[in-house]
Amino acid sequence: MRAFWARFRRRPPALFGLAVLVLVLLVAVGGPSLYRQDPWDLAGRPFSPPFGQFPLGTDTLGRDLAAGVIHGARVSLLVGLVATAVALSLGTAIGAVAGYRGGWVDDALMRLTEFFQTIPSFIFAVVLVAIFQPSLRSIVAAIAMVSWPAVARLVRGEFIALRHREFVQACEALGMPERAIIFRQILPNAAGPVIVTGSLMVATAVLLESGLSFLGLGDPNLMSWGFMIGSSRSVLRQAWWMSAVPGVAILLTVLALNLVGEGLNDALNPRLRQR
């Protein structure tokens, strides 16, 4: 861990991204307890500009934008983390089995993966959420369904590269069960690229959730950044801050996640360790 942190902190952009991400996490976890305004309450006059009675202003109905940003951080990060965890689990399992077993099992699983990859991700997510009704569960499931194929192909490639290494052959000669070889021997050696991909997938999941909420397919009981932008797009010229505030929140969060992902890639990639 010391060597990993030493390599990671040599990248100033990665440290900046980590600092922003920690700030967003603190806002998501502790913000609703410290700033108790309900984001759905009509708190004041509509179209109030920032830095007045309300720190970030109000929207077209008089709802506090600061409360919306704080509660939206929790929703966006929750959807991003849970959807990424589901996609990583599914994609890793499919890719591991395909790469280790090979043959017709590999062909069948890769054809299934390619089928999902031929469908445009965002359109597929919109269709899934529309079919199963907008809710937090359906959004997480939809994002996971469009995200796992890339993980499966990555893990399959790593397993093919490691499948015939000496330590794997030694485990097979000792009679170790196939499941143990896959998940206890090969998978830990392929974890680096999977971790980096997972960090970048969280950013993509945040963008997908924001896009769905912008189109009115978010959970109607939860305030989110995409919903805030969508509800204020008709007054963009008159009240720019209503779209700009949640838009900047999305920008900073996605930028931070990508910078952290690049830092993880540099720290975990053995070819870059000597740079």
Q: Residues 87-101: what's their mean pLDDT? A: 91
What is the rounded distance in angstroms from the CA atom of residue 84 to the CA atom of residue 63? 31
Per-residue pLDDT tens for 182-214?
888 888 888 888 888 898 899 999 999 999 999
Domain residue limits, the chain: 2-31+63-272
Tokens standing for residue 77: 């990060």
Residues composing the chain = 275
- Residue 103 · residue 115 · CB < 8 Å: no
C-alpha triplet 253, 24, 212: angle, nearest 5°: 50
H or E element at residue 265: helix 241-268
Q: Residues 3-15: what's their mean pLDDT? A: 81
What is the rounded distance in angstroms from the CA atom of residue 10 to the CA atom of residue 219? 40
Domain 2-31+63-272 has CATH 3.10.450.350: no
In degrees rounded to 5, what are phi and psi of residue 58?
-125, 165
H or E element at residue 18: helix 12-34
What is the rounded distance in angstroms from the CA atom of residue 219 to the CA atom of residue 169? 49
Tell me the whole-structure pTM to 2 decimals.
Answer: 0.88
